[in-house]
Amino acid sequence: MLSRKVTSHGQDSSYFLGWQEYEKNPFDPIHNPSGIIQMGLAENQLSFDLLESWIEENQESNWFRKRGGSVFRELALFQDYHGLPEFKKELAEYMSEIRGNRVKFDVDKLVLTAGSTSANEILMFCLAEPGEAFLIPTPYYPGFDRDLQWRTGVEIIPIHTTSSNNFAITKPSLEEAFQRAQSLHLKVKGLFLTNPSNPLGTTLSPQELHLLLSFSLSHSLHIVSDEIYSGTASSPSSPTLTEALARLLPDPLHPAWGRLHVVSSLSKDLGLPGFRIGAIYSHNAALVAAATKMSSFGLVSSQSQFLLSRILADKGFIRRYTRENRARLGRRRGVMQAGLREAGLPCLRSEAGLFCWVDMRRLLASASFEAEAELWRRMVHEFGVNVAPGSSCHCAEPGWFRVCFANVAEETLRVAMRRIRAFVADSGIRR
Q: What is the pLDDT of residues 9-44, one digit of tens each?
A: 656 788 888 889 999 999 999 999 999 999 999 999
Same domain, 80 and 155: yes
Contact between residue 158 and residue 178 where contact means Cβ atoms under 8 Å apart: no
| 430 located within any domain | no
144 is a domain residue: yes
Residue 236: what pLDDT? 78
| Residue 251, domain extent | 66-317
Q: Which position among 145, 147, 226, 359 bears the catalytic label? A: 226
Is residue 278 within 8 Å of 113, Cβ to Cβ? yes
Give the per-residue pLDDT at 74.
73
pLDDT (0 to 100) of residue 241 = 87
Quote the pLDDT of residue 7: 66
Same domain, 23 and 96: no
Asked if residue 80 and residue 19 are part of one domain, the reply reads no
Chosen domain end from 317, 333, 362:
317
pLDDT value, residue 363: 97
Does position 184 have pLDDT exceeding 90, yes or no?
yes
Same domain, 82 and 165: yes
Of residues 1 and 411, more confidently modeled: 411
Q: What is the mean pLDDT of residues 163-177?
A: 98
pLDDT tier for residue 113 given thresholds of 50, 70 and 90: very high
Q: Taking the CA atoms of the chain, what radius of gyration do you get in angstroms? A: 22
With a CB cutoff of 8 Å and minimum separation 6, the contacts of 197 are 137, 203, 204, 229, 352, 353
Task: Calculate the alpha carbon distances from 151 to 6, 9, 287, 392 in Å.
Answer: 9, 9, 19, 20
Q: Which residues of 203-220 are buried (b: 16+ CB within 10 A; e: fewer)?
A: bbeeebbebbbebbbeee
Annotated catalytic, 228? yes
Are 259 and 337 found together in one domain?
A: no
Residue 24 annotated among the catalytic residues of the structure? no
147, 156, 159, 268: the catalytic one is 268
Candidate list 136, 169, 228, 420, residue with the active-site label: 228
Please check whether residues 385 and 236 belong to one and the same domain: no
Please pick, among 15, 94, 141, 229, the residue that the annotation labels catalytic: 141
> What is the tens place of the pLDDT at every residue in 249-289?
888 878 889 999 999 999 999 999 999 999 999 999 999 99
CATH number for the domain including 230? 3.40.640.10
Phi, then psi, of 69 in degrees rounded to 5: 120, -160
* pLDDT tens digits, 332-382: 999 999 999 999 999 999 999 999 999 999 999 999 999 999 999 999 999
Number of domain units in the chain: 2
242 and 110 in a single domain? The answer is yes
Catalytic annotation present for 55 = no
145 assigned to active site = no
